[in-house]
Amino acid sequence: MSNILLDEAPLLELETMIGFGGDVKEGLKVHPDKQFIIYPVGCTVVIEDISSKSQEFFSGHTNNVSCITVSRSGKYVASGQVTHPGFKADMYLWDFYERCAVFHFKPMHHNKVEALAISPSDMYLVSLGGQDDGSVCVWNIGTGDAICGAPAQVMSAGCTRTIAYFNHSDDKFVTGGDNTLRVWDLDVGARKVKPTEVNVGQIKRNINCIEVDSEDAFFYCGTTTGDIMMVNTKSNNFQKHGPTKERFSLGVTALCLLKTGDFLVGSGCGDVQIVNEKFKPTTKKQKVEGAVTSIALRGSGHQFFVGTSKCNIYRFDFAEFTQKLITTCHHHMVNDIVFPHNSSDLVITCSSEDIRIWNTNDCKELLRIVQPNKTCNALAIMKDGASIITGWDDGKIRAFSPESGSLLYIVEHSYGASTTALATTTDNKRIVSGTNLGHVVVWDVPDPMYLRTLKKGSTVNVTKHDLLKEHKAQVTCIKINMNDTECVTSSIDGSCIIWDLLGLKRKMMIRVNTLFQYTCYGPDDYHIITTGTDRKIGYWEISDGSMIREVEGSLSGSVNCMDISGHTFVSGGDDKLVKLWNYDQGTVQYIGKGHSAAITGVKIAPSGPYDSKPKFIISVSKDGAILKWRFPDMNVDY
């Protein structure tokens, strides 16, 4: 019974997106009207109002956005993307004020669009292909046609990385990259671009970023060496470079020219510093987390925004040179997501190296628990809210306190090399964990009264447990029923097992030829629903393990996650769609489009005792984005 009528189902309304593609070089832009910031999240371009934080989206890209540029007039926004190797990458030109796509350019560059630049009078768009492409292409913004193209660098040079237009000329631009720095003259009549190599003399530099000064007299290049090169545009000769003594470690990754003639420099190690005209670093310096990938001035620079590779956006005040973190998100795949019991105000997500607690109302991060060089695979919270239980890829289970984030107790060896699934009982006394080798272990949590007697700062090693060994491969999901008498575990060995938690033995087993990804108890715990890589959602009877129904969960890609609330459930998977299902009918009611990568977790917010329905759905994906969807009004009993 596959009745997924994707085109007919209404769309879920996207409320907020927590995300920032920090890896995109110069991806964070401030619109010339000083009201909006523009940044990529996965395959979407987000326009965010600086003051009200409301978001709008340019969506159309089929893969991650790799570059963004905004025209000087503010009318156009152009963005390029990456694709799979062997394919040509898409580019879009958007109208900022109409919030719509103007052109979907004919795919020209192989694999990736590296950089984009729009001419000062909005006539031409120059695009630069990536490493596999290595070409420069000039487009007419009026017609959307390509004017001409040329190889971006000589054969002996490396990859060209960046592009910058002159400020007063529509037919002059600069490209720079590994051992290449070229000034290009555009001849539209002859449909030609003519490069002129810049003579840099003895020095060898790899260019990260280019800034042209306001009179078009010089341009400045930030290099991987950690200094700034100054080039005369009249003679195309290298003039000078600096700082010569204390260079920026890990290179100058972002450069901004200020009206005073000073430079704002962002480095690969996270320094943001002002360098004077003589390339001498001043004392105005701040450190941010991750490599600085973009610096965007608001207006003439009384305030500026800094984006880093750790997906943070900082707002700097120039006069005082102070920073404030305004947006942050996971910079790796989000592995799990959990709401505290009966509370939709908070949500906990886990990713590589960190666990974060978010306020769902204003989407602000409240707490971050960092464990370097480890990945958190699974997340659970005790029903009383006193501890967050986390499963890590070093095979340990750690429990953290939710306010200070300090380690409460630890399970040193949860069998297997990695803990992949977790669940807690409602009496706050037991944890059920699953490993990558198929162990299901029931741990007895130490009594909090006993733990309070211990010395402050001492962590407890939990060892008391019962092992249930039936699965042959990684356990992907554990769910405990309402009254803690049984639990269901799914595994990628193609089996789902229902365990008796009182007698600690197997009750029922389901075997299908699939890799089970997720399972959920149905309403009133009589059924379970399962999903897997076979793209099917199966309904099963718990008492005898027989299949009740099977519906097509997705047309492409596995279904990775589900969550159920009353007679409605949501699913998310590799098809990047969040689907809201009616449990009884087995039909898709709503579809949420907005994820740019495979969805790894989805949860319906717990509804409070006075709510008639859940307020929202939160889904997380492999690109680190957290999306909040408004729960639609449906005539269903929740």
Partner 1 sequence: MGDPWNENIYSLIQQPAQQQQKQPRHFSKFKSSMRDEVTKTKAEYKTMGPAKVQTRPPNEFLKKHEKEPKLPEKMKFKYPNEERRKPPVPKRDEQPILGLKTNKNFITQNAIENIMAVPKKPEKNYADTRKGDKHPLEPSGLEPKFVHKKDFGKTPGYLERRKAELQRAQDEYNSYIAEHFRRGAMKQLNEDEREDILNGLKSNWELLHHEYQGLSVVTDTAPKKNRKERMEAEMKQLERDIESIEKHKIIYIAN
Report 339-368 residues binding partner 1 (CB under 8 A).
Answer: 340, 343, 345-346, 348, 357, 359, 361, 366-367
Shortest CB 352 distance to partner 1, Å: 22
Contact letters for partner 1, residues 452-471 (x by CB under 8 A): x---x---------------
User: What is the bridge-based pairing of β-strands 460-461 and 407-411?
Assistant: parallel
Q: Which is nearer to partner 1, 379 or 496 (CB)?
A: 379
Instruction: Name the residue nearer to partner 1 (CB basis): 451 or 636.
Output: 451
Binding mask 301-340 for partner 1 (x = CB under 8 A): ---------------------------------------x
- Name the 3-class secondary structure at 449: helix
Q: Which residues contact 555 (CB under 8 A, 6 or more apart)?
A: 4, 6, 535, 575
Quickly count: other Cβ atoms within 10 Å of residue 377's Cβ: 23
What's the closest the beta carbon of residue 410 comes to partner 1, in angstroms? 13
Task: Report how many residues bind partner 1 under the rule CB under 8 A.
Answer: 25
CA-based angle 280:286:292, to the nearest 5?
Answer: 90
Instruction: Give φ, ψ of 613 to 5 degrees.
Output: -150, 165
Nearer to partner 1 among residue 197 and residue 384 (C-beta): 384
Residue closer to partner 1 by CB (options 151, 385) is 385
Stretch that binds partner 1, among 102-110, 379-387, 423-431, 505-513 (CB under 8 A): 379-387
Q: Measured between alpha carbons, how far is 428 from 230 in angstroms, rounded to an integer?
A: 64
Residue number, 406 or 546, with CB nearest to partner 1: 406
Neighbours of 18 (CB within 10 A): 27
User: Which sign does the torsion angle of CA 231, 237, 242, 248 carry?
Assistant: positive
Q: Answer yes or no whether residue 594 interacts with partner 1 by CB under 8 A.
A: no
CB closer to partner 1 out of 283 and 404: 404
Distance CA 297, CA 291 (A): 18
- For residue 525, the 8-state DSSP code is G
The nearer residue to partner 1, 138 or 411, going by C-beta atoms, is 411
CB of 628 to partner 1, least distance (A): 17
Q: Please give the C-alpha separations between residue 104 and each of 62, 68, 73, 143, 420, in angstroms, as whole numbers.
A: 12, 14, 20, 11, 42
* CA angle (332 as vertex; 329, 338 as ends), nearest 5: 65
- Residue span binding partner 1 (CB under 8 A) among the ranges 178-186, 212-220, 300-308, 447-455: 447-455
Interaction residues for partner 1, span 189-248 (CB under 8 A)? none
Q: Segment 382-411, which members bind partner 1 (CB under 8 A)?
A: 384-386, 388, 401-404, 406, 408
Strands in 42-87 per DSSP E: 44-49, 55-59, 65-70, 76-81
Q: How far is the CB of 362 from partner 1 (least distance, A)?
A: 9
- Closest separation in Å from C-beta 380 to partner 1: 12
End-to-end, the C-alpha distance of the chain in Å comes to 24
- Which residues are near partner 1 by CB under 8 A? 340, 343, 345-346, 348, 357, 359, 361, 366-367, 381, 384-386, 388, 401-404, 406, 408, 448, 451-452, 456
